Amino acid sequence: MVKIGDVFPSRYLKAADLGTAQPVVVIQSVKIEDMGEGRNKESKPVLYFAGKEKGLVCNKTNSFNLAKITGSDDTDGWKGHSIQLYTAEVEAFGEMVDAIRVRAVKGAKPPEPVEFAADDGDVPF
């Protein structure tokens, strides 16, 4: 059998892509992209990570956490910072679902200039 996600892969990272992994990633860029259509269309920040293809669409919770982690409420200030991704069960639209959350990396220093290399294959996305 073929899974629908294999036939129609998403450009964006989902909780299922992480599974139980809690990777540390480096933010390479942040782009504001339109999500949804019609009346539901809204612009959201999307994080792209060094060596990874899929972006992470930031909701309000992750955006405020990133501002706290990086010390900047300007998305341009997020580039080069290391963060840890993990899944958490959250309430959304009246039901409990898995979602990706971000947190600071213990002992992380402010970012230094980073040369972004290809994926080393140790993270599942």
Structure tokens at 111: 């970012």
Distance CA 12, CA 85 (A): 14
Instruction: Identify the sign of the CA torsion 29, 112, 84, 118.
Output: positive
pLDDT of residue 107: 76
- Is pLDDT at 95 greater than 60 in this prediction? yes
What type of residue sits at position 83? I
- With a CB cutoff of 8 Å and minimum separation 6, the contacts of 50 are 25, 26, 27, 28, 114, 116, 117
The strands making up 42-49's β-sheet, listed across from edge to edge, are 56-57, 42-49, 24-35, 82-92, 95-104
Domains of the chain, by residue range, sit at 11-104
103-117, pLDDT tens digit by residue?
999 876 666 655 555
Q: Summarize the confidence of residues 57-84 as an average pLDDT.
A: 95
Q: What is the pTM of this model?
A: 0.80
Listed in order, strand segments (DSSP E) in 36-81 are 42-49, 56-57
CA 78 to chain centre: 12
- Report the alpha-carbon distance of residue 72 to residue 32 in Å, rounded: 16
